[in-house]
Amino acid sequence: DLSGPWVGGGSNQDIEKDGGLKPGELPLLPWAKQLRDSRKEEDEPYLYCTPMSVPRVNPYPWRFVQSATAQGLSTIYVIHENGDAGGVRKIFMDGRTHPPADELLPTWWGHSIGRWDGDTLVIDTVGFNEKFWLDREGEPHTDKLHLIERFSRPDFNTLQYEVTVDDPGAYTATWTGGFL
């Protein structure tokens, strides 16, 4: 059970460093590296009251809220109690698949489907817009961004978060970072 208020669960500052990667290890395509290196702190989209999106961490409390029907768990909502433009992320848990790519409407939160793998919540998300940065360093992404997130709770007070980033539009390879 992942219910309750949480703080953390990702990176806000430097996803490479915070995610356990070595400096320069992110497999950026040349155009993406050039874009990241040219971005200025004052251009950070979050400073203009837009959602951070994922895999960033909101510095304010957030929570998982589960919704069920007679058939079982249907949706998990990630509710940001402050910041992130009051964002609510919806994760479908009813066994559906993603819509075809040509039917996706790119959004800040993308289209998320989830499942439980033992005690780990696994979230698969596609359909992001290109309006947010992956961290404060300005790591870019494209509308091809595909995230696989894994949330687990090794003990009562700890939420472990791992994200696998697959974006052939911005990176030469898939990469994974882990956060406590």
Task: Pick the closest to residue 133 from 42, 64, 63, 61 (CA basis).
Answer: 42
pLDDT digits (tens, 9 = 90+) for 128-171: 999 999 999 999 999 999 999 999 999 988 889 999 999 999 99
DSSP per-residue string spanning 42-96? GG-GGGGT----SSB--SS-EEEEEEEETTEEEEEEEEESSSGGG-EEEEE-SS-
Q: Over 80: is that where the pLDDT of 57 sits?
A: no
pLDDT digits (tens, 9 = 90+) for 37-49: 999 999 998 888 8
